[in-house]
Structure 1
């Protein structure tokens, strides 16, 4: 555990960011971790509600911000103002329709770039040496989410390090793991997946058929365990 050092974690309330939080808490201790969540204009607030529960579980400080104005001109179907419907098919199927490579409809324009810039400003303000975010290999595949690729993370790390006066840097501990690998790591860290929310729809229960639901179900199945968020 890194005593007297701090970390900032982008916490959406999903499985990936919660796993990142588990990694940071193990390294720095809950008292030295600040979780940041953002409302970016999404259709529902289930993610934010989950982030609050996860932060409470770990006992970390948790701050929320409204960054929705930055995406007010986007027609991404994840956003409340969008006229598009969320596709209920796997990412593999969506990439196939794009010819094997391209951004999927649920890519919110440069969202991670904005969130990481926000986190960098906070990190400098509170004296945190690291910023954690949960990009992983499945999101980067085919450049479905270009702000999740290793290239993006590397360039953002350089920008953050230089722009912060070389006081803080970016950590992407899941960047080389697929979703099954993320869940495997999370299970080893006793990550509270029962509190997390990944579904793009905001119902009482996950829809089970959107891209992220399909991805999540396959990841838990690959690890031979039932998703605790689906247990009665």
Structure 2
């Protein structure tokens, strides 16, 4: 298979699963450090897995996001809400148009490296909370990157309509060790076990029949 894609890889469960799932087509992994509470915990896992697979990895600094954007994800661990991953509870964690910014940069990098596709691992559980994870957004930005590049770069999001549990099931088949991923939005030494992303992580692993050996506080 031709290595014709870049992947936006955070170091979380979803993007690490896609990295292994689509590894034969991936030429470059891109992480973005935008100053969130958990970037420092996630990105080393992105580097680790890319290195393990022999895939080039780069980290792009988006310091301006932390400086100018409003989100509890940027305001310290104490600002992160606890409880279930639902619309009202987790809405404060939205970083406005984050995926739009990252996909635009990734499309430019793809064309600069003669690559045709940008992969992103948004999923169905993101839809109610994050506008730039929804199918209508993905379809729109896919059209925009095709129209705005000579190479007609595509945005591919194959997990858009499946759940995080479905993703964990894919990872189980691929033999991924999810202890080598990071989910917690608080970004402490261990997963807090209480924030929306930790709760979602627990539910996905349980739903996939994976023994959860994550270290929680």
Any conservation in 2 of the 1:76–1:84 contact (CA below 8 Å)? no
**Where does 1:11-160 land on structure 2 (aligned, <5 Å)?**
11-25=9-23, 27-28=24-25, 32-44=26-38, 45-80=40-75, 85-92=79-86, 95=87, 97=88, 104-140=91-127, 142=128, 144-160=129-145
Comparing 83-92 with 32-41, greater Cα deviation is found at: 83-92
TM-score by length of 2: 0.91
Question: Structure 1 CA distance, aligned partners of 2:97 and 2:120?
Answer: 14
Structure 2 gap ranges (5+): none
Counterpart of 1:199 in structure 2 is: 184
Q: In structure 2, the residue corresponding to 1:202 is in which secondary structure?
A: coil
Question: Structure 2 CA distance, aligned partners of 1:132 and 1:71?
Answer: 24
* Number of corresponding residues: 215
Deviation of residue 190 (structure 1)?
A: 2.4
- What do residues 90-114 of structure 1 show as CA deviations (whole Å, max 9, x unaligned)? 123xx2x47xxxx711111100000
TM-score by length of 1: 0.86
Q: In structure 1, the residue corresponding to 2:36 is in which secondary structure?
A: coil
Q: CA RMSD in A?
A: 2.0
Any conservation in 1 of the 2:77–2:185 contact (CA below 8 Å)? no
Aligned mate of 1:169, from 150, 154, 175? 154
Deviation of residue 228 (structure 1)?
A: 4.7
